[in-house]
Structures are given as structure tokens and as C-alpha cells.
């Protein structure tokens, strides 16, 4: 199966330029994956069905020209994919594992993208720089993520998190751990993925007050 065939299978459409960039990115990703564990999605079907599908849902909630930091980028999802889908965004990647950060730099270069890679933890990056949005997928449970980023909330306006069917349990655990104080958690989007049980969601996390420097964000659909 080719990328084009996978796109047709799932009813998705990309420009020729985006297809070229994603092809170069995936070829680099899968090459690096033989040396450094980066992804389990090593076919066009799995990439389109999971990685591209998630990233396309997330991209809808980013405003024009936002400065975005992808936390724990690993193999580059959603950060690199967002940079391909939305060339108006200013995307940076944070990956503290040095080998993975080196792999990300190579993927970015091969895809011809203007994306900065930080070889450090995302919360360290946000402690010294400001971003409109921090994104994360499959990095850590909600309680742990919020314990990391709450102390640096002046460095980001919101978190956009891709979560699976267990997100409600994660939210309950975060509330029990006391890390939701001063934060609002909203559901922006819910969707299903073929062959994957349950719904996925896009969660938005914002501080009640104290943010500076970012544009206003879209109103959420559902207050949790």
C-alpha cells in the first residue's frame, strides 16, 4: 500500500506537496526506527489511520500563525505532521532523549521543514520561552503531564492533548492528585478511529488566570 492508496482508503485528501513531505518524513522515521525505537506504526495504513488521523483532528483547533511546542515528540507525531498540514504554524519539538532528538532533526531536514528541535524536556523549554500551545500525544497520564507543566504555565497559553478512551479516568486521577487546581479542562473534539476501540478526544487545558502573550483560543464544545 502507498500513501496515496491509504489516503483513499480512509477518505482523506492532501496536497501533492504535503504528500511529498510526509513520504520523506515517514521514510526517514522508518529508517531511524530500525536503530532507535520511535514508532509501532511502520506501514502506510497504520500511519494514516492513527498518526495522520489524530494530527488532522488536532490541526483544526490551532489558529493561524500559532507558536506550538510538541512535548515528548518521539517519532514526530503530532509535531512534524502538524508542520506539514499547517505551514502557517511555528512548530517546535521537544525531546529529551538525545538519540531521538537527533533523529527528529534528520526527519525535519529530509522533509524540508522549518521546525526547531529542542533536545530537552518540554517543561524546561516552557520555563524559558513562551508558546501559544503545547501539544502532546501518548506522553504520560494527565496527572503527570499537569504536574510537569503547571509550574511553567506562564510559558504557555494552553495544552492540547490527544487522549484515548481512558481520559475520564485520567481526569479523575488528576483531580484526586490535586493537580487540577487553577486549571480548566475542556473537550474540544471527540472522534473514533477505525479498528480502535472507544473514542479519542482532544482535551484543552488552560489556567484560570495569569497567562500572557498568546492569542485568544476558540471556545470549547464541552465543559468537563
Q: Which domains does the chain have, with CATH numbers?
A: 3-208 (3.40.50.150)
84 vs 65: CA distance, rounded Å: 14
At 194 the pLDDT is 86
CA count, 13 A, side-chain hemisphere, 223: 3
80 vs 84: CA distance, rounded Å: 6
Q: 72 exposed, middle or buried (CB, 10 Å; 0-12, 13-18, 19+)?
A: buried
Instruction: Evaluate if residue 210 carries a pLDDT over 70.
Output: no
Instruction: Evaluate if residue 131 carries a pLDDT over 70.
Output: yes
To which H or E segment does residue 3 belong? helix 3-9
Chain position carrying cell 473514533: 192
Nearest in space to 144 (alpha carbons), one of 118, 125, 121, 127: 121
One DSSP character per residue, 65-118 reads T-EEEEET-TTTTTHHHHHHH-TTSEEEEE--SHHHHHHHHHHHHHHT---EEE
Beta-carbon count within 10 A of 43 CB = 12
At 149 the pLDDT is 92
pLDDT tens digits, residue range 175-184? 999 999 999 9
pLDDT tens digits, residue range 77-124? 999 999 999 999 999 999 999 999 999 999 999 999 999 999 999 999
Cell matching residue 98: 538525545
Cell matching residue 205: 487545558
At 96 the pLDDT is 96
pTM of the model: 0.91
At 197 the pLDDT is 74
Beta bridge partners of 93: 70, 117
Nearest in space to 160 (alpha carbons), one of 141, 134, 197: 134
Amino acid at each position: 500500500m502507498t500513501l496515496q492508496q491509504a489516503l483513499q482508503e480512509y477518505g482523506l485528501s492532501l496536497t501533492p506537496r504535503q504528500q511529498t513531505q510526509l513520504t520523506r518524513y515517514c521514510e526517514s522515521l522508518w529508517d531511524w526506527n530500525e536503530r532507535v525505537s520511535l514508532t509501532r506504526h511502520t506501514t502506510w495504513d497504520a500511519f494514516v489511520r492513527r498518526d495522520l488521523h489524530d494530527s488532522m483532528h488536532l490541526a483544526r483547533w490551532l489558529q493561524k500563525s500559532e507558536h506550538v511546542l510538541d512535548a515528548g515528540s518521539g517519532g514526530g507525531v503530532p509535531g512534524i505532521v502538524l508542520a506539514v498540514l499547517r505551514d502557517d504554524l511555528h512548530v517546535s519539538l521537544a525531546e529529551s532523549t538525545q538519540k531521538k532528538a537527533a533523529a527528529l532533526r534528520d526527519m525535519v531536514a529530509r522533509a524540508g521543514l522549518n521546525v526547531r528541535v529542542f533536545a530537552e524536556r518540554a517543561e524546561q523549554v516552557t520555563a524559558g520561552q513562551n508558546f501559544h500551545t503545547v501539544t502532546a500525544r501518548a506522553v504520560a497520564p494527565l496527572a503527570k503531564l499537569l504536574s510537569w507543566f503547571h509550574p511553567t504555565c506562564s510559558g504557555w497559553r494552553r495544552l492540547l492533548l490527544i487522549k484515548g478512551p481512558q481520559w475520564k479516568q485520567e481526569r479523575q486521577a488528576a483531580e484526586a492528585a490535586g493537580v487540577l487546581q487553577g486549571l480548566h479542562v475542556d473537550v474540544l473534539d471527540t472522534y473514533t478511529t477505525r479498528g480502535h476501540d472507544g473514542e479519542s478526544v482532544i482535551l484543552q487545558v488552560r489556567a484560570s488566570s495569569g497567562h500572557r502573550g498568546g492569542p485568544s483560543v476558540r471556545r470549547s464544545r464541552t465543559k468537563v
